[in-house]
Structure 1
């Protein structure tokens, strides 16, 4: 089985977009086909009847599964913005942290560096997940 990495990233972004909609994606272990699902509109994406067969399909991980949320932001702070680490830790101690974090990064001129760091971390983590689960990746 082989799946295009661009397709995995696209599905990963979809399931990461908003937990309110119950977005998910499953990968067919044999064919590499990615099947998308949203609770918002169950008829939006066509799914095979056996989509719940865990032997045949595997759930694409969420950012939380791959430690790509707050832990990643704190690693970025420690590695790239050490002088602001305590400020960033304080940002993540309250609700609305992601908006405030990105506002802060914009103010200190580090938003582009964050996006590059985050993108690299996503790719690395998702490729590692594929390798651990026997999913051959193209691209």
Structure 2
């Protein structure tokens, strides 16, 4: 069973949500390959990158429900009196900046980061297990 580096997978998941970006994990080695208009090719892609059984496309964070769903879960657990305000915040552009400001105002920055990091690790671990991969943290 191949092992995937958590940091590399997390970066690939962030890029995978952007148009013009794609990422794959080798099922044989666990190596993460990225092609992105934002950063270019970090290294040449293998010729067989599209062959089923050798590589698996990396899902974006939204595919793994690591966006707004994590925010709402955090708010319900740690900021329940702010839930209506946070839902209003997320109806407009720039929501994450305004949510971040509210988290700071409530002195919950460290708790938010720990919560988000744990949810991300849990989602990456589940995705890796689903595809027969190990996750190295």
Q: TM-score range by the shorter chain?
A: 0.7 to 0.9
Aligned residue number for residue 79 of structure 2: 81
**What are the within-5 Å matches in structure 2 for residues 19-58 of structure 1?**
19-20=17-18, 22-40=20-38, 42-58=40-56
In the alignment, which of 66, 69, 74 is matched to residue 68 of structure 1?
A: 66
In the alignment, which of 8, 11, 33 is matched to residue 10 of structure 1?
A: 8
| Number of residue pairs matched by the alignment | 137
Structure having greater relative contact order (Cα 8 Å, sep ≥ 6): 2
- 2:12·2:58 contact (CA, 8 Å) conserved in 1? no
In structure 1, runs of 5+ residues without a counterpart are none
In the alignment, which of 99, 102, 119 is matched to residue 101 of structure 1?
A: 99
Q: Output the TM-score relative to the length of structure 2.
A: 0.87
Aligned-CA RMSD value: 2.0
Q: Output the TM-score relative to the length of structure 1.
A: 0.86
Per-residue CA deviation, residues 47-92 of structure 1 (Å, 9 max, x unaligned), is 1011111321001221101100001100111111111111111111
In structure 2, runs of 5+ residues without a counterpart are none
